[in-house]
Structure 1
Amino acid sequence: MKVNSILLFIISANLVACNDSENTVYSEIISKQEIARIDTNINKLYPDADSKLKQHILNVAVESLESMVFIKGGTFMMGDFKAPCSPLNIKR
């Protein structure tokens, strides 16, 4: 009986440890709820991906959100407008 209790404890501890390893991202900026929402979206968008890849995607997503910098005002246009970019044409 004592052996069964010990075995049950070890198995349940291993299962809990496996469950905790799924979402191991920590952030001082992004809330736990936001990280959980990102994780849910990853699981919806990539259901067939293995857990290691999903964890990597989550890490990249959280890191990119943490690295964003707010810039007040102004506009930004992205793209190639065929402007001359030769260093010889730049007036200094």
Structure 2
Amino acid sequence: MRVQCRHTGRAALCRVPRGGHGDEVVAYGVRAPGAQLSADELVAWCRCRESMASYTYPRLVEFVDVLPTNATGKILKWELRDAHLARAGS
């Protein structure tokens, strides 16, 4: 499913382990030029979407300058997950 927010240029959702309690959803986004979107605003926007199930709402939001992609432009979610786990472990 693809849902777009006008304040993000490109975004990805991925699951990360939550310390023995299953997984949680993390949203990674690149802000659109000139956008002043906060993490709370993005989560609130996701919650009001009728097309998203409640378990798919992001619990954490991280804004990045660029999302890692392969040669064909596909977002490399495993790199986002590994970076998140490295930050959480330190």
TM-score over 0.5 for the alignment? Answer: no
Q: Larger Cα Rg: Structure 1 or Structure 2?
A: 1
| Structure holding more helix per residue | 1
TM-score, normalised by the number of residues in structure 2: 0.31
Give the TM-score normalised by the residue count of structure 1. 0.30
